[in-house]
Amino acid sequence: MLLENVNSPSDIKRMSVQELKRLADEIRQFLIETISVTGGHFGPNLGVVELTIALHHVFDSPKDKLIWDVGHQAYVHKILTGRKELFPTLRKYKGLSGFPKRKESEHDMFDVGHAATSISAAAGYAMARDLKGEQYHVVAVIGDGAMTGGMAFEAMNHIGHMGTDVIVVLNDNEMSIAPNVGAMSNYLAKLRNHSHYKSVKSEVANLLHKVPSIGDRVAKALERVKDSVKYLMVPGMLFEEIGFTYLGPIDGHNIPLLLEMLEQAKQVKGPVLLHVITKKGKGYAVAEEAPDKFHGVNPFNIETGQAPKVVAKAPQYSNVFGDTLRTLAKEDERIVAITAAMPSGTGLSKFAVEFPDRFFDVGIAEQHAATFAAGLACAGMRPVFAVYSTFLQRAYDQVIHDICIQNLPVVFAIDRAGLVGADGETHQGVFDISFLRAVPNMTIMMPKDENELRHMIYTALQQPGPVAVRYPRGEGRGVSMDEAFRTIPIGKAEILREGNDPVAILALGPGMIELSERAIDLLAAEGIRPMLVNMRFVKPLDSELLLEIAARGYRIVTVEEAVVSGGMGGAILEFYAQNGIHGIDLCPIGLPDRFIEHGSVNQLLESVGVTAERIVEEVKMITPRKRQRA
């Protein structure tokens, strides 16, 4: 076994090609055995085994900087850089992160999780190197999906202009999470499939090598022929046009070829793009044949590829959203659905089949998606942009500048709102309340369960301006679904329990309402009965109810699965201050002012004190005087 003796990249430097091939087989088997137990990003990592080995063989990390895009495909990098023993803790609380983390290893050059950042980071490293007169290689490894992200082109535009020595390795497996989309994807397909180009290029290359010591003039003439042939034969040569030397496409599972081409890339002056063709899920047949190539998996049985059968207690919120939109779209042809490369995650896969002309997967391009929705709204459509809370962060200016200033009827279906768990800091959906609440004309609502989510989507599509409906990752609460849709009065909260003690729990979203109900059961045992409110809206707030609660002199405990900074609790305090109501006794329970690491959602909530016990504690802070007055 070679792998057991690999604890740093230096341990593979002396390996022969045959040994590197054996190492690849061992790593592939290691991935299958560990990720089938832990779950995680499986297909992407199977696809980069040989590429990662070749990168660490040719380059000297950490002197040379390897920067991964998205970083979900960096497990092999972590295995080769001394962390294989940690894989049983992958994505577990206090365990190995599923993404590169600078605090985790000197070989992790840039923290990632969101797509299309690697080339910009590489540009930063490279230009710092040049300013400091240092010598090292900078390599960005970016997938074909991430390459549909606008930032990638912003970075290439800059690097191409600067002529900086940066190597971009484009890992092209024809897949994003779903099959890749867009003109870039089609262009890469042309490059991949231009066999005539490949044969012509190799003939010209052979000719150059075969004729011993031909004069420079002839060599240069032939080089020009090669370039003109390449230029003519390969459509566009998009990358060369913007200053990159394009190498490839090459087989990304052929180690000798990868070693040769990466060595070549090292020699090229200026920016280089090495186009590498890989197979997502390679080496595990079930993944290779799966529609999503086992992009992200739960633990599964190695023999069958099947995850253990779990009887769902309720539908996923994403699917309730998707089914609701399909129902409404049947009645209203103005409804169109947009995703930024997350059709399955956002529950839109069935909508895409049923309404192919009214479904748009724009690639990993949230900024474009938002303004595209704005354009659709201006032209009389009812666009719904389904997007994870964390990825909506990419389109903040578009929300303000292109949608809210114009007060356009765009619905943001914000999935994964709240803690997502295993993906950690880069993916927790905990800032959207704060960053959306500040924007005029925006309405923000969150349901108490999957049934109310349906009514909120229905209500949102009736509004004249922008609306954000946020809901968590995972299953609903198992409540029954109403037959007919109903419109929820904007800004109206719902009193779930009147209580008879002078304290009100104002909770937002299903998870926090469940916690609050558990707290109420604990309090009942002590004879304390607080009011419980399903807030439903963060903007606008239910001013009538808030004024009533203040008039009764109640203590208030707000509960939200979002950062307290700028959250619902703050909004309520601001409301009272703006209405000249002072001395409100309010405790905002929510997430602290720090990034929340990976782990299970329950572990993370526990770790930050968002628990039923904490709610009990805060409710019991009612002063005796207030109790007497009740």
Ligand X SMILES: Cc1ncc(C[n+]2csc(CCOP(=O)(O)OP(=O)(O)O)c2C)c(N)n1
Q: CA–CA separation, 477 vs 499, rounded Å?
A: 23
Where does this chain touch ligand X (CB under 6 A) — which range of 13-21, 175-183, 533-541, 606-614?
175-183
| One of 70, 337, 433, 546 touching ligand DXP (CB under 6 A) | 70
Q: Is 364 in the site for ligand X (CB under 6 A)?
A: yes
Q: CA–CA separation, 399 vs 303, rounded Å?
A: 47
Q: CA–CA separation, 355 vs 434, rounded Å?
A: 34
Joined tokens for residue 162 = 């600067």
**The tokens 């000197």 sit on which residue?**
106
DSSP string for 562-579: EESTTSHHHHHHHHHHHT
DSSP string for 231-259: HHHSSTTHHHHTTPEEEEEEETT-HHHHH
**Shortest separation between residue 278's beta carbon and Mg ion, angstroms:** 8
**Which residues have a catalytic role annotated?**
280, 366, 394
DSSP string for 348-386: -HHHHHH-GGGEEE--S-HHHHHHHHHHHHHTT-EEEEE
Which residues make beta-bridge pairs with 384? 337, 411
Interactions with ligand DXP, residue window 536-575 (CB under 6 A): none
| One of 39, 145, 281, 499 touching Mg ion (CB under 5 A) | 145
| One of 138, 175, 335, 605 touching Mg ion (CB under 5 A) | 175
| One of 28, 57, 65, 72 touching ligand DXP (CB under 6 A) | 72
**The tokens 């959203």 sit on which residue?**
321
Q: Which is nearer to ligand DXP, 248 or 296 (CB)?
A: 296
Q: Is 551 known as a binding-site position?
A: no
Residue 420 binds which of Mg ion, ligand DXP, ligand X, none (CB < 5-8 A, kind-dependent): ligand DXP
Residue 27 binds which of Mg ion, ligand DXP, ligand X, none (CB < 5-8 A, kind-dependent): none
- Contact characters 439-478, ligand DXP, x per CB under 6 A: ----------------------------------x-----
| One of 423, 450, 542, 560 touching ligand DXP (CB under 6 A) | 423
167-172/138-143 β-pairing:
parallel
E strand or H helix at 521: helix 510-524
| One of 28, 56, 65, 72 touching ligand X (CB under 6 A) | 72
Q: Is 173 known as a binding-site position?
A: yes
Q: Is 184 in the site for ligand DXP (CB under 6 A)?
A: no
Q: Is 173 in the site for Mg ion (CB under 5 A)?
A: yes
| One of 280, 326, 454, 555 touching ligand X (CB under 6 A) | 280
Q: CA–CA separation, 72 vs 106, rounded Å?
A: 18
**Three-class DSSP category at 524:** helix
Instruction: Output the CA–CA distances (angstroms, integers) from residue 543 to 495, 548, 550, 576, 619, in the order listed.
Output: 14, 9, 10, 9, 22
Q: Which is nearer to ligand X, 61 or 171 (CB)?
A: 171
537-539/443-445 β-pairing:
antiparallel
Where does this chain touch ligand X (CB under 6 A) — which range of 128-136, 139-147, 449-457, 463-471?
139-147
Residues that bind ligand X (CB under 6 A): 44, 47, 70, 72-73, 114-115, 143-146, 171, 173, 175-177, 280, 295, 340-342, 364, 366, 391, 394
Residues that bind Mg ion (CB under 5 A): 143-145, 173, 175
Residues that bind ligand DXP (CB under 6 A): 70, 72, 177, 296, 345, 416, 420, 423, 473
Annotated binding residues, as ranges? Answer: 72, 113-115, 144-146, 173, 284, 366
